[in-house]
Amino acid sequence: MKPLAERMRPQTLDDFVGQDHLVGESAVLRRMIDSNTVSSFILWGPPGVGKTTIASILSQKLKRPFYSLSAINSGVKDVRETIAKAENSRFFDRANPILFIDEIHRFSKSQQDSLLGAVEKGVVTLIGATTENPSFEVISALLSRCQVYILKPLDKEDLISLIDNAIKEDEYLKKKEINIESYDALLRVSGGDGRKLLNSLEIVVSSFEEGKPINITDDYVFEVIQDNLAKYDKTGEQHYDIISAFIKSIRGSDPNATVYYLGRMIAGGEDPKFICRRMIISASEDIGLANPNALLLAESAFRSIEKIGMPEGRIIMSQVAVYLACAPKSNASYMAINKVLAAIKETGDLSVPLHLRNAPTKLMKSIGYGKDYKYSHDQDQNSPDQEYLPEEISGSQFYSPGNNASEQKMSAIVRQKWKDKYGY
């Protein structure tokens, strides 16, 4: 059986709840249907407000072939195959097929580039859906060929209307004796997402014994939903819990937990660039100089994701995440900059030693700027014996090498040069 949200998906704009500025009487999308013409456009709005439904209704009413791709699961190959199908479906004066791309902001530049030619030539009419600002996430060449229509969050009246319509019209729910004592809990767990609202309603209703009256209270909704609606929410509290668990698993050198939480984020539709940015930070904060290659690999993953996109990008992220988890750990450089910033806050802007200052003018030279500076490459073992810190904090140790092979080698070099000055 299809989920309630799918069973209740509107088939006409007259059945559509909300977005009157787009689908109401004389609104732009309704005029498209009435005039039997449609140009490429992008629907921008939060989850569960009707983006996919609008695209589906347009294609049905305009009697056009309809192709759908999800940017989370589709690669360049899928895009090209779909465009080829659309091209083959064009006969004589038949109208262009509609290509609907959900989460279009997740397409990489190369994936978006692969769409551009088909849109320019009129092979397809593109309808994109995005929860992110398309100005930042869609390439300018593609964006310039599309109108952008903004969808608003569903308000309280809209959400209640969805619930009441489902109870009254759904082929399964209308057979049950359902009483809603309060809508508040259902509205709260939905977060304004119509799809999540109907799925929550269905979970609550199905928890009652068959044939018995169903009395829905706020307390009961919270109890049932917390037990059953275990879903990664990229904009809610779990977003922060999962990414926190991911980073702490890397820090704790547990590759199995690391890849598990990575999978949770991928399955939940998290932005892969967000994941890669967090891995770049972890590569410096938690691994640092214990394995400098970690930062290079994390940065490479970010660039690769931009070029390749999803779903293939999951392979790259998994490789780098496991590498980071298994790498030796050191937060020495991270702690060093924290100590420095704390010292600066306490001591203020201390004067740079005169011999380290640049002296581009005669006046600066005459007052001692650059005087007695020893050029390192002209000195024995490339290490002149001179002070580099301000006099007031001379000898301060900000960087304490970690207990790992890489940093112990660096520590030996520092000890050879500075002897006991910094306490290494």
CA 25 to chain centre: 36
Q: How many CB atoms lie within 10 A of CB 19?
A: 24
Going by C-alpha positions, the residue among 306, 293, 290 that lies closest to residue 409 is 290
Going by C-alpha positions, the residue among 277, 278, 195 that lies closest to residue 229 is 195
pLDDT at residue number 280: 95
Q: How many CB atoms lie within 10 A of CB 307?
A: 12
Name every residue whose Cβ is closer than 8 Å to that of residue 95 and which is 6 or more positions away in sequence. 62, 63, 64
pLDDT at residue number 301: 94
Kindly report the average pLDDT of the chain as a whole number. 83
pLDDT in tens, 346-393: 888 888 888 878 878 878 788 888 888 877 776 666 555 777 788 888
Contact 109, 307 (CB under 8 A): yes
pLDDT at residue number 235: 52
- The owner of tokens 């091209």 is 87
Going by C-alpha positions, the residue among 177, 159, 214 that lies closest to residue 8 is 159
H or E segment at 324? helix 313-326
Q: How many CB atoms lie within 10 A of CB 192?
A: 20
What's the whole-number mean pLDDT along residues 85-97?
70
Q: How confident is the model at residue 229 (pLDDT cuts 50, 70, 90)?
A: very low
Contact 12, 57 (CB under 8 A): yes
Q: How many CB atoms lie within 10 A of CB 395?
A: 11
pLDDT higher than threshold 90 for residue 315: yes
pLDDT > 70 fraction of the chain, expressed in percent and rounded: 92
pLDDT in tens, 136-162: 778 888 888 888 999 988 888 989 999
pLDDT at residue number 230: 46
| DSSP assigned state of 350 | P
Contact 216, 222 (CB under 8 A): no
pLDDT at residue number 233: 55
Phi, psi of 29 (to 5 degrees): -75, -30
Q: Which domains does the chain have, with CATH numbers?
A: 18-150 (3.40.50.300), 156-228 (1.10.8.60), 237-326 (1.20.272.10), 348-418 (1.10.3710)
Higher local confidence (pLDDT), 195 or 240: 195
Q: How confident is the model at residue 90 (pLDDT cuts 50, 70, 90)?
A: low
Mean pLDDT lowest for which of 85-89, 247-251, 369-373? Answer: 85-89
- The owner of tokens 């892969």 is 272
What's the whole-number mean pLDDT along residues 217-226?
82
pLDDT higher than threshold 90 for residue 91: no
pLDDT in tens, 261-300: 999 888 777 888 889 999 999 999 999 989 999 999 999 9
